């Protein structure tokens, strides 16, 4: 690699993933290549069922037990994520890579107040006291567009709107200042005006030079609003979208 081409923050090479169900193995991703540079926002586009979530979950080794990574190398910084042990992986998850899951209600525990869920990572990874984590949580909520942070922290997930839940998840994913934010369909359950507002929030986060974003969606219009580059997954194969 030449001096003008810095090593990308995230580099996926030759990633092939299959699922075993009812005794049959189905190949979902075939030799996928992907790169995200520091400060770059990359969109991943594709129809429902094409393998976007599978690809995202592979990055953090969160695939279900019936999934099989048949080949590939996933390099994040200088680490091959596929070779990390559990402790090393826990350090990367939530700390260096923030993940916003596709379904906000499933990603939030309905029995816990927002405060406990949002502060958990900061207390664990950053060793913050309860009060320090709470103060930081309020500023994180403000950063993602929730001005009434104190009220939000007291609430349970069902008491806040869908748009707010997604913002809480983004704030949680950002809570330990990750280098990479992966958003899997962050707005698919929201109405159009709320989707657009959420994209504005992501666009503002993009201004922070060092944050890289991998934004997954089936909605080209939404992705084009903020992505520097867009990749397209079709029939398990990933390619750069041109034009």
Could you give the 3-state DSSP secondary structure of residue 30? strand
Q: Is 122 left (phi over 0), alpha (psi -120 to 50) or beta?
A: alpha
Choose from ligand ATP, Mg ion, none: what does 50 bind? Cβ within 5-8 Å by kind. ligand ATP
Q: Would you give the end-to-end CA distance of the chain in angstroms? A: 27
Q: Which of residues 180-209 bind ligand ATP (CB under 6 A)?
A: 185
* Minimal distance, residue 194 CB to ligand ATP, in Å: 19
In the complex, the smallest distance separating the C-beta of residue 52 from Mg ion, rounded to whole angstroms, is: 5
Query: What are the φ and ψ backbone dihedral angles of 78, each rounded to 5 degrees?
Result: -105, 5
Question: CB under 5 to 8 A by kind: which of ligand ATP, Mg ion, none does 6 bind?
Answer: none
- CA 9 – CA 15 distance, rounded (Å): 17
Residues in region 36-95 near Mg ion by CB under 5 A: 52-53
Does residue 54 bind ligand ATP (CB under 6 A)? yes
Which residues, 6+ apart, have CB-to-CB distance to 192 below 8 Å? none
Only one of the segments 48-56, 71-79, 125-133, 151-159 lies at the binding site for ligand ATP (rule: CB under 6 A); that segment is 48-56
Residue with smaller CB distance to ligand ATP, 56 or 170 = 56
Q: Which residues contact 84 (CB under 8 A, 6 or more apart)?
A: 61, 92
Rule CB under 6 A: say whether 46 interacts with ligand ATP. Answer: yes
In the list 14, 66, 109, 240, the residue contacting ligand ATP (rule: CB under 6 A) is 66
**Residue from the set 12, 52, 115, 211 that interacts with ligand ATP by CB under 6 A:** 52
What x-and-dash track marks residues 86-125 binding ligand ATP by CB under 6 A? Answer: ----------------x-----------------------
Tell me how many degrees the CA angle 30-62-184 measures, rounded to the nearest 5.
75
| The one segment of 8-16, 50-58, 142-150, 221-229 that binds ligand ATP by CB under 6 A | 50-58
Measured CA to CA, the distance from residue 27 to residue 199 in angstroms comes to 32
Could you tell me where the DSSP H helices lie in the chain?
A: 52-59, 86-92, 104-107, 114-125, 130-143, 149-154, 162-174, 192-206, 220-226
For position 156 contacting ligand ATP by CB under 6 A, the verdict is no
For residue 186, what are the contacts with CB-CB under 8 A and spacing of at least 6?
100, 166, 169, 170, 198, 202, 215, 217
Kindly tell me which of 103 and 120 has the beta carbon lying closer to ligand ATP: 103
Residues that bind ligand ATP (CB under 6 A): 19, 21, 28, 46, 48-54, 64, 66, 102, 185, 218
Residues that bind Mg ion (CB under 5 A): 52-53
């Amino acid at each position: 690699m030449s001096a003008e081409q810095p090593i990308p923050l995230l580099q996926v090479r030759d990633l092939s993933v299959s699922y075993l169900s009812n005794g049959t193995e189905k190949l979902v991703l075939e030799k996928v290549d992907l790169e995200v540079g520091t400060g770059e926002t990359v969109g991943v586009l594709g129809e429902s069922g094409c393998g976007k979530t599978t690809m995202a979950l592979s990055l953090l080794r969160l695939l279900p037990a019936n999934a099989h990574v048949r080949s590939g190398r996933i390099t994040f910084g200088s680490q091959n994520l596929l070779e990390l042990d559990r402790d090393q992986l826990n350090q990367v998850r939530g700390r260096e890579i923030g993940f916003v899951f596709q379904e906000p209600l499933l990603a939030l525990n309905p029995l816990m107040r927002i405060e406990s869920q949002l502060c958990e990572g900061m207390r664990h990874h950053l060793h913050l006291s309860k009060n320090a984590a709470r103060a930081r949580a309020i500023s994180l909520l403000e950063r993602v567009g929730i001005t009434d942070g104190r009220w939000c922290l007291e609430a349970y997930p069902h008491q806040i709107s869908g748009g707010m839940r997604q913002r809480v998840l983004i704030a949680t994913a950002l809570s330990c200042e990750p280098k990479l934010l992966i958003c899997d369909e962050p707005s698919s359950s929201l109405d159009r005006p709320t989707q657009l507002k959420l994209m504005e929030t992501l666009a503002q986060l993009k201004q922070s030079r060092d944050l890289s974003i991998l934004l997954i969606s089936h909605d080209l219009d939404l992705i084009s609003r903020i992505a520097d580059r867009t990749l397209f997954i079709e029939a398990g194969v990933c390619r750069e979208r041109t034009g």
